């Protein structure tokens, strides 16, 4: 049994039900919208966040109809955020394939993203649980705020890890936190227990994003984006921030600001990547990622069944060991 199968094992039947319901939730009689929706469906990822919602519902009680609506709503919101993110970043790749805006255009991408957002909220409403509707609405606000903080940080002259973590908590980690919390809420958990589930998801999400940021320092292979892509967008991530703050090399700090200002060429970016790698940036980021992994594991209740504990442990380890 491979790692993904082990992760899905306790909810394998329910996950198949979810996939059917998710596909059914995305339909349109409009030819263009229907075409883009089909394009999106064919390129959907591993659906790690819906799996987390199902696992957390199972951990906190049982999977109910509202669990499916919550998982669908969050996956639609996640998909919409990726479509809009590609427009903002002017990216033509997503999951190793052409992005929506690369095949169609920015106007279509924004409108389709808006359609998915509306469909997300419609599914949240179908859960008939105001706490889940509130969760999805606030997540949309948080994701947008994270994107704006990231955009405004390109003008910053310092290299703050604090801002870096604020951005990833409000983007990647917020999705994992909401997925875990939604599962707990849908199973009937108290607000206190649901908040603990959210923290568990956030820890996983931070580790997930650090892993993504480490990928950016290596050859593309099948990662889905070229090496140095973040820097070509003016983003400095944890490995770079650590090295810059540790060594305080004035020439490299000047180059980092040039990267932020989108004024660095490919050779300069390649030189900066190598500088970060040889000065311990990757090792530092990897250790921070492992620390978040360990904190998440420590949160699993002692009463967790062995099957669920194995699945959630495999989930966390997959996040930090994945190859793309």
**Number of helices followed by number of strands (H, E) in the chain:** 17, 2
The average pLDDT across 127-135 equals 96
d(CA 125, CA 200): 25
> What helix, strand, coil percent values describe the chain, rounded to 5?
75, 0, 25
How far apart are alpha carbons 49 and 264 in whole angstroms? 35
- Mean pLDDT, rounded, of the chain: 93
Alpha carbon 265 to chain centroid, angstroms = 28
pLDDT band at 220, cuts 50/70/90?
low
CA 23 from centroid of its chain's CA atoms:
21
Closest C-alpha to 262, from 235, 240, 284:
235
pTM metric for this prediction: 0.94
pLDDT in tens, 63-106: 999 999 999 999 999 999 989 988 887 777 666 678 888 888 89
- How is residue 88 written in tokens? 């903002």
> In this predicted model, what pLDDT tens digit does every residue of 187-217 receive, in sequence order?
999 999 999 999 999 999 999 999 999 999 9
**What does the alpha-carbon distance between residue 171 and residue 77 come to, in Å, rounded to a whole number?**
12
> Quick one: pLDDT band at residue 223, thresholds 50, 70, 90?
very low
| CB 113 within 8 Å of CB 84 | yes
- Residue 92: the pLDDT is 76
The yes-or-no verdict on residue 275 having pLDDT over 60 is yes
pLDDT at 264 over 90: yes
| 225-263 pLDDT per residue, tens | 557 889 998 999 999 999 999 999 999 999 999 999 999
Residues 6 or more apart from 36 whose CB is under 8 A from it? Answer: 100, 104, 108, 112
Say what the pLDDT of residue 98 is: 83
> What are the CA-CA distances from residue 125 to residues 56, 120, 132, 133 (Å)?
20, 9, 8, 6
d(CA 81, CA 209): 15
Cβ atoms of residues 230 and 213 within 8 Å:
yes
pLDDT at residue 283, rounded to an integer: 98
Beta bridge partners of 97: 94
The helix/strand/coil state of 128 is coil
Report the CATH architecture of 3-306.
Answer: Orthogonal Bundle (1.10)
How far apart (Å, rounded) are the C-alpha atoms in residues 8 and 48?
10
Assess whether pLDDT exceeds 80 at residue 52: yes
Predicted local distance difference test score (pLDDT) of residue 222: 44
The angle subtended at Cα 26 by Cα 125 and Cα 206, nearest 5°, is 70
Domains of the chain: which residue ranges?
3-306
Give the C-alpha separation, 298 to 283, whole Å: 23
């Amino acid at each position: 049994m491979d790692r993904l199968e082990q992760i899905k094992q306790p909810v394998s039947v329910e996950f198949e039900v979810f996939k059917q319901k998710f596909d059914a939730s995305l339909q349109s009689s409009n030819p263009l919208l229907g075409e883009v929706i089909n394009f999106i469906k064919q390129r959907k990822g591993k659906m790690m966040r819906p799996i987390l919602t199902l696992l957390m519902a199972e951990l906190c009680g049982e999977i109910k109809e509202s669990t499916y609506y919550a998982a669908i709503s969050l996956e639609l919101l996640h998909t919409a955020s990726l479509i809009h993110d590609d427009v903002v970043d002017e990216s033509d790749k997503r999951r190793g394939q052409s992005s929506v805006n690369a095949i169609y255009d920015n106007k279509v991408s924004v409108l389709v993203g808006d359609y998915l957002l509306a469909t997300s909220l419609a599914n949240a409403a179908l859960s008939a649980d105001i706490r889940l509707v509130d969760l999805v609405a606030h997540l949309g606000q948080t994701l947008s705020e994270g994107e704006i903080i990231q955009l405004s940080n390109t003008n910053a002259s310092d290299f703050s890890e604090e801002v870096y973590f604020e951005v990833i908590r409000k983007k990647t980690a917020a999705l994992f936190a909401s997925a875990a919390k939604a599962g707990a809420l849908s199973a009937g958990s108290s607000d206190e227990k649901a908040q603990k589930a959210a923290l568990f998801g956030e820890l996983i999400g931070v580790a997930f994003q650090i892993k993504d940021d480490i990928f950016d320092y290596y050859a593309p292979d099948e990662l889905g984006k070229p090496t140095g892509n973040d820097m070509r967008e003016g983003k400095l991530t944890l490995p770079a921030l650590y090295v810059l703050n540790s060594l305080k090399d004035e020439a490299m700090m000047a180059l980092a600001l040039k990267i932020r200002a989108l004024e660095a060429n490919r050779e300069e970016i390649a030189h900066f990547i190598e500088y970060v790698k040889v000065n311990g940036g990757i090792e530092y980021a990897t250790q921070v990622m492992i620390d978040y992994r360990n904190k998440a594991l420590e949160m699993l209740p002692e009463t967790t069944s062995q099957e669920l504990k194995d699945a959630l442990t495999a989930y966390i380890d997959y996040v930090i060991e994945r190859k793309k």
